[in-house]
Each structure stands twice: as C-alpha cells, then as structure tokens.
Structure 1
C-alpha cells in the first residue's frame, strides 16, 4: 500500500462538522463520506509528492504558504495543526478555488517538463522512494494527467459551491 492523495468535495455543513473532530474521528469520517458516495472524490495515487516537487521544487512535506501550486496539491487549511502525529488532512474553501484554478490553467507544462530531471526526486527524498527511477516521459505523463484531473475537479467544486478536502493517508 502506501500513502495516496485523495480529493473530496464537501458542502458547508459537512465542513463545519469535520472541523470539530479529533484526528481519528476525522480520518474515519472522511472514509465514511467517501464510502457513502454522497460527494465526488478522486485520488492521484502516490504521485502527489513528486507532482508537488515538479511544480514547486520542494516536497509536499514542506507546503509553501500562499503558493497556489502548492495549495493545489495539498490544500490550504489543515484540520489539526497542533499534533505532528496527526494524519495529513486539509481543506480549501470554495471561495479560494478560483485563484488556484487560474494558476493551474496558466501552468507552462512544456517549460517545466523541459527543465525537469527525475534525479531531483531522489536528491530531495521525494515520496515514494524510487519514483525517480521511472521513465521521465512516463512521469511527465502522470503529472499531466493528475494536473488535468485536479483542475477539472476544482472547477466542478467551484461550480457546485463545494469545498475540497485533501487527505494524504
């Protein structure tokens, strides 16, 4: 198995409910919401850290405050900040999605791809270990597909007036 990044749309009522939960209850509630299929969700599997590094130059374990590319991958607000052992679950409010969408739409993927060297993933100890061994073109295709999915998902969430929860579990 391994840690995968999942993106979940939720309404205001659900967000309010989640903000009052402790780590274990929050994680369980996220799984229950997904199982209920009440809201749309998808995952980008284990590519989240490598994609974050591709876009920002750093690991997702070091999110960049006020950087829309970083926030697109890992969200903006963490549910549980005081506990270093807590699962990584964050959210982005609906009114914050438009700026992220604009930045995602303006990515110069070709320029990023031309300067990308998979060895950087090894040097920066990017998750999952060994991802840098993959074929560069295959990695770039995975990045492009994941970005397309994230962009489409965020556009739909904005349209539906939903917030987005990002969980990396």
Structure 2
C-alpha cells in the first residue's frame, strides 16, 4: 500500500488531546480515531498531485500562508517523523474561498503531467492516461473541498495525516 492522505474531523477536546501527544503515539491515536468512526475522507494517492496542481510545488515543500497549499497539508504541523497537520475551524473559510476562486475543470484541463513527472510528484503515475489522471484529480479535488465544507458546517477542525 502506498502513501495516502486522510482528513479527519475532530472537536476541540480531541484536537487538544492530539496536540499534547508524543509524536510516537500520535499516528496510532489517529488510526484509532479513524477506525472508531471519526469522520474521515481519504485522498489516497492523489494528495501530492493535487498539491502540485493547486500550489505549483510538491506537498513536501508546502507554501507558507498559501490557502491552496494549506488545503492539502493543513495550516499547522505536528512534530514527528510522520506528517500530521491540522487546520482549525476558524482557518477553514479562506481555504474554501481560495478553492472557490478557481475553475476546477479549467485548472485540471490545463495540467501538464510531464511537469508532474519531472518534479517527482508522488506517486510515479504521471505518464499514465491523462484522461484517467484528470478524472482522479477531479474526484480528489471534490473530496478535499467537501471535507473542508463539512468541517465548517459541523464546527469541527481538520487533522491531516499523510503516511
């Protein structure tokens, strides 16, 4: 199984508890939350490609104060070897507004998958059928947008884990 991004909705108490955890138990605690039924949306393998499409850089090089980059990796980063970030509820609207300002179909149609491949964007699929890649990016974009909107609607925070 490859790397995947998970976006888990959490309340204030849960976020406070996660922030206080040692890095070595953070991932297992997140996995327990997911398996215990915490609302979670997965971007599977498209997270890095979507970050590159939206921000022009790999997710491993997130852009500070860039809501499109933060839509993928979160606003705040937890410490540790595995990537875990979060976006608090009051930080979600600028991200949604930045996504809304883009024409999803036009952005995806203009994607240069050779640039994805040349930049080493995970996973190494960017020479596959462009129509399939565009459909997968569109589905990931919709899932990303939807989870941010759901977090706002439910008054929750988003915890992002990529591993």
TM-score band (shorter)? over 0.9
Which residue in 2 is equivalent to 1:132? 126
The alignment's TM-score, normalised by the length of structure 1, stands at 0.92
Residue 122 of structure 1 pairs with residue 117 of structure 2:
yes
Tell me, in whole angstroms, the C-alpha distance in 2 between the residues paired with 1:154 and 1:111.
21
Residue 104 of structure 1 pairs with residue 99 of structure 2:
yes
Between Structure 1 and Structure 2, how many residues are aligned? 163
> How far off is 1:113 after superposition?
2.9
The alignment's TM-score, normalised by the length of structure 2, stands at 0.95
> How far off is 1:110 after superposition?
3.5
> How far off is 1:2 after superposition?
1.2
What CA deviation, in whole Å up to 9, does each residue of 1:118-149 have, x standing for no partner?
111111011112x1122112111111111111
Which residue in 2 is equivalent to 1:141? 135
Tell me, in whole angstroms, the C-alpha distance in 2 between the residues paired with 1:110 and 1:26.
36
Which residue in 1 is equivalent to 2:78? 79
Which residue in 2 is equivalent to 1:46? 45
Tell me, in whole angstroms, the C-alpha distance in 2 between the residues paired with 1:146 and 1:74.
14
Q: Alignment RMSD, CA only?
A: 1.1
> How far off is 1:109 after superposition?
2.3
Consecutive unaligned residues of structure 2, counting only runs of 5 or more, are none
> How far off is 1:150 after superposition?
1.3
Consecutive unaligned residues of structure 1, counting only runs of 5 or more, are none
